[in-house]
Homo-oligomer: A and B are copies of this chain.
């Protein structure tokens, strides 16, 4: 359980590639897709989400493409993952203060703790860090 989907994997691979480019360099989606080994049309959707959330800046037309909207050191893994997978919510009952079957559910506090820990870990990792690791 708790598996990241392909979408999440692709998102991470794609944005890491962007982070490895010289600052300000515009990358085509086709280029990113090829480098990250991800289906291009699928990655395009992912980068649309990034753009809407302000993680990357997109420009259209000739010479267009994608650039990081912020320094890679200011983009966290959590932002990237949540951009495509939605918020980190281990259990539905974290959505409200109470579960649907009456009072607060017994495991509520546990899931809350899991959520907090995971968010904390992912917030502590920036794309910059990931991009600088020895390449594969």
List, in ascending order, chain B residues with CB within 8 A of A81's CB: 1
Q: Are B130 and A106 in contact (CB under 8 A)?
A: yes
Our pick among B2, B104, B106, B125 for the contact of A2 (Cβ within 8 Å) is B2
- A89 contacts B136, C-beta separation under 8 Å: no
Q: Are A90 and B2 in contact (CB under 8 A)?
A: yes
- Flag whether A117 is at the interface (Cβ < 8 A): yes
The count of identical subunits is 2
A112 to B117, CA, bound (A): 13
Set B101, B118, B122, B134: member contacting A103, Cβ < 8 A? B134
**Contact residue range for chain A?**
35 or more
Q: Are A91 and B16 in contact (CB under 8 A)?
A: no
A22 to chain B, nearest CB (A): 19
Query: 9 A-B Cβ contacts within 8 A?
Result: A1-B5, A2-B2, A4-B111, A9-B91, A12-B107, A77-B110, A103-B134, A103-B135, A104-B136
In the assembly, what is the distance between CA of A29 and CA of B118, in Å? 35
Chain B residues in 8 Å Cβ range of A89: 1-3
The 8 A CB mask of A84-114 against B (1 = contact, 0 = none) is 0111111110000001011111110011011
With known contacts A106-B133, A136-B99, A86–B1 Cβ distance under 8 A: yes
| Nearest B-chain residue to A6, judged by Cβ | B92
Answer whether residue A65 sits at the interface, using C-beta atoms and an 8 A cutoff: no
